[in-house]
Amino acid sequence: MTTDPASAVFAALADPTRRAILARLATGEATVNELAEPFPISVQAISKHLTVLERAGLIVRTREAQWRRCRLDPAPLRTLAEWVEQYRRLWDDRYDTLDDYLRDLKENNRGQAP
Amino acid sequence: MTTDPASAVFAALADPTRRAILARLATGEATVNELAEPFPISVQAISKHLTVLERAGLIVRTREAQWRRCRLDPAPLRTLAEWVEQYRRLWDDRYDTLDDYLRDLKENNRGQAP
DNA sequence: TGTATATTCAACCCATCGGTTTACAAACCA
DNA sequence: TGGTTTGTAAACCGATGGGTTGAATATACA
């Protein structure tokens, strides 16, 4: 249950419904019902998704009368971006020499067959 | 089973063992036993993890005598970085207002399917 | 007061996940 | 040939995940 933060963030993002919720929240805050409206699943299921996102730190829920207003917290996305940056050189500076490039081209057989 | 590519990548990264395997592969290719050595779980479990990574497109396994050599394929990480970039404005200070953000998003037309 | 609205809690169902153990396949080695 | 090494396949198990329905809670409103 005490999963590390990185795993929690990745797991939260591994569901298309939750990613859609985040995309919606990127355009501004919303209540649970507003978030649930476009989806063909129950409001309870959306509420569960929001709990997952909240535990991953990706959203913040604030109480306001009988509504819970949700807003995106981009901090975990920033650290995620930094994590991915670790691997940047593997696709950026991947080819140190022309030989590397040619060898890779040959191995992967990317050239069009004549 | 027919999960979308983004979900497969995020789900693959949601496990610390698999992220450790990727980190190891970032330093160079390795066989299954070499990858399994540091972990306190069975080689079979590692083999399963590799299957998950392979299905997500994060690694490539090539046959070589009785060994399976694994190497990292950074392509999904690049698209993941692009996905995260969508949200950069939310933590960047270069956007003064939400309007700025939305206008930029629209102009660059980065909207990916969730 | 009572009722409608918004949201969560709780119990349940079934599929998937991460791990195990056992068995199997393929390639090398003697 | 037989044995060893390397890796996967298969069957199983307990835990988790995403969904449901039904009940509970909290706030606004008449």
Residue B90 pLDDT class (50, 70, 90 cuts): confident
| Contacts with B19 from chain A: Cβ below 8 Å | 6
Identify the residue whose Cα has the smallest distance to the C1' of C27. B66
Identify the residue whose Cα has the smallest distance to the C1' of C26. B66
Give the residue from chain A lying closest to B60, CA to CA.
A108
**Tens digits of residue pLDDT in B23-78:** 999 999 999 999 999 999 999 999 999 999 999 999 999 998 899 999 999 999 99
Q: Which of A20, A27, A88 sits opposite B114 (nearest CB)?
A: A20
> Are A16 and B26 within 8 A, CB to CB?
no
Task: Determine the distance from the C-alpha atom of residue B43 to the mean position of all C-alpha atoms in its chain, rounded to a whole number.
Answer: 22
> Are A90 and B75 within 8 A, CB to CB?
no
Q: Which DSSP letter does residue A113 get?
A: P
User: Percent of chain B scored above 90 by pLDDT?
Assistant: 70
| Contacts with A4 from chain B: Cβ below 8 Å | 16
Looking at A1-114, list the stretches that DSSP marks H as alpha helix, in order from N- to C-terminal side.
Answer: 5-13, 16-25, 32-36, 43-55, 75-85, 88-91, 98-108
**Tens digits of residue pLDDT in A4-59:** 999 999 999 999 999 999 999 999 999 999 999 999 999 999 999 999 999 999 99
d(CA B24, CA B22): 5
**Whole-model pTM?**
0.84
> Are A81 and B84 within 8 A, CB to CB?
yes
C-beta pairs of A73-79 under 8 Å, 24+ apart in sequence: A74/B87, A74/B90, A74/B91, A75/B91, A76/A5, A76/A9, A77/B84, A77/B87, A77/B90, A77/B91, A78/B91, A79/A6, A79/A9
Residue B66: how many other CB atoms lie within 10 Å: 6
Amino acid in position B79? T
